[in-house]
Amino acid sequence: MTLLHSIELEIFADYFQFYLQDEAVDEDWGTFWTDETVERMLAVGECSVGVATARNMNVPVVVSVHDAAPEPDFGEWELVNECSFRVRSGQMMVIGCTEGSPQERARFSLTPGSYRLRVSYVGLDMVSDDGLEGDDFYRLQIWPSPRAGTRTLKERAGAAG
């Protein structure tokens, strides 16, 4: 497995969420969120993926693109989910759900096709009482892969399931 590209971001996670999506696709994010996806902290569309966060403030996110599935390293992470998505336009963006202007969007290129996304979460319980400060962190790992189901690879301690 080779790391092809990596980007560190601060994303405004308004409404406790942000999205990875194909820039040319406009999916209805509201339909992604169900009781199950809220519990999982991951909501999946055809060309968009919603990631739930512990805070509705700026949160640190690292996105890395690989040529194959990265080695599992779940030890330090509290929750790890995996899902598939499709790239149509070749241009992806990471965006908060209320960020409208193109300048507020982090963009990168991916060859059109099917991809797998592994989202790893840590520090979910390390948020101040007012919800403004925290040590939560989100890692998104992307690689080409045939479509497969959404699954949780590591559940949060004490999580129902």
Count other Cβ atoms within 10 Å, centred on residue 160: 6
Each residue's pLDDT tens digit, 25-57: 888 888 889 999 999 999 999 999 999 999 989
pLDDT of 96 = 87
CA–CA gap between residue 75 and residue 153 (Å, rounded): 12
pLDDT of 100 = 58
Window from 12-16, 34-38, 60-64, 104-108 with minimum mean pLDDT: 104-108
Question: How deeply is 103 buried, as exposed, middle or buried, from its count of CB atoms within 10 A (0-12, 13-18, 19+)?
Answer: exposed
The answer on pLDDT for 160 being more than 80 is no
- Answering whether pTM is above 0.95, one says no
Amino acid (1-letter code) at residue 38:
V
Each residue's pLDDT tens digit, 91-129: 999 998 777 555 456 889 999 999 999 999 999 998 888
If we measure between CA atoms, which residue out of 127, 126, 140 comes closest to residue 19?
Answer: 140
pLDDT of 161 = 44
Please give the domain boundaries of the chain with CATH numbers for all domains.
3-154 (2.60.34.30)
Collapsed DSSP state (helix, strand, coil) of residue 147? coil
